[in-house]
Amino acid sequence: MSTNPPDDTQHSPAWTVPHAVAPTPDPAREEAEARAVLAEAAAEAAQLRAAAHEPVEPEVRLGPTGRPVPSFPAPPPLLEHGPARVIAMCNQKGGVGKTTTAINLGAALAEQGRRVLLVDFDPQGALSVGLGVNPHELDRTVYNLLMERSVRADDVLLKTNVPGLDLLPSNIDLSAAEVQLVGEVAREQTLTRVLRPVLGDYDIVLIDCQPSLGLLTVNALTAADSVIIPLECEFFALRGVALLMDTIQKVQDRLNPRLELEGILATMYDSRTLHGREVLSRVVEAFGDRVFHTVIGRTVRFPETTVVGEPITTYASTSPGAAAYRQLALEVLAR
């Protein structure tokens, strides 16, 4: 006799799927959450507004010398002129930009309202030629001023086409002065003596020295308050700076205690060449803050100005070369 299995379904409990219960609306909680969201958004907006008004640190601009370039403000106008500050452009190596710097720095200083006297103290007369003067047609030059007691600076002085810029011209006759001055008493002070009467009429006197360390250059250093050394960014030009610094030191010790180094000016710089960058870096490393921030780049405009006989500030007023010498003028006035 067989028995059937018990029917479990008859005895198992009934299971039901619970229905989802809708949450009871809570207006107070919803309002609090909305307020929190609004407060967070307001805080973010306040931070954005504050950031917009925060002073932004200016970007530090490094110049060719690898140092931050300071701002050189325009100097205030002068109420009166003189006594002049005498600066010698000196380097025993030729072709480094002494004459170019004397002409264009002088013109840029004159633009700043300074009365400037340029002294051509090189027998080659390049400074005179660069300002449109034919040295072979001159009746009197710096040579006559040095060697003839009856000649005064006003007898030799020439006005240039640049307002406020005057010139004491030179020619090949000056080469004889170096020999003739050897027997003179206080021969190193001859230029100092002849310039003294006109220093009250000018603010700055720039002396363009010949490329040597002879008696004429020593005269210029003895008459000067400071020295600017134009230095071509080239290795052989760098080698001679030590000898020049030794000469300056001797003049300080023996003839002119007030003489100081105004600065070393890098000229004919070409940032595209590794050699030029390395030479400039070594100069800054050796002389530090005595190197001008202004660097004069190489440009074809400078030879062109010699042909036309005027400064680059008038011949190519908007050129990089003109801008560089205007910046140099402000830097010199700020020192």
- On the question of pLDDT at 141 being above 90, the answer is yes
Which residues are 204's β-sheet partners?
A: 85, 116
Roughly how many angstroms between the first and final C-alpha of the chain, as a whole number?
129
- For 277, the token pair is 């960058």
Work out the mean pLDDT of the chain and round it to a whole number: 88
User: CA angle 12-18-20, nearest 5°?
Assistant: 175
- For 193, the token pair is 């003596």
Q: In the chain, what is the greatest distance between 2 CA atoms, to the nearest angstrom?
A: 165
Q: How far is CA 31 from the centre of its chain?
A: 66
Calpha distance 302→100 (Å, rounded)? 7
Task: Say whether 282 sits in a helix, a strand or coil.
Answer: helix
Lowest-confidence range among 14-18, 60-64, 111-115, 273-277? Answer: 14-18
- For 189, the token pair is 């002070």
pLDDT at 31: 72
Q: Report the pLDDT averaged over residues 129-151.
A: 94
- C-beta neighbour count of 5 within 10 angstroms: 5
Contact in structure between 176 and 146 (CB atoms under 8 Å): no
pLDDT at 4: 56
- C-beta neighbour count of 243 within 10 angstroms: 12
Lowest-confidence range among 10-14, 213-217, 236-240? Answer: 10-14
**Residue type at position 164:** G
pLDDT at 200: 95
pLDDT at 242: 85
User: CA angle 123-290-91, nearest 5°?
Assistant: 15
- On the question of pLDDT at 251 being above 90, the answer is yes
- For 203, the token pair is 């603010």
- For 247, the token pair is 């000469």
331: buried, middle or exposed (CB in 10 Å: 19+, 13-18, 0-12)? middle
Calpha distance 193→280 (Å, rounded)? 37
- On the question of pLDDT at 45 being above 80, the answer is no
Domains of the chain: 85-334 (3.40.50.300)
Q: Which helix (H) or strand (E) covers residue 261, if one does?
A: strand 260-269
- For 227, the token pair is 């020295």
Q: Report the pLDDT averaged over residues 45-66.
A: 72
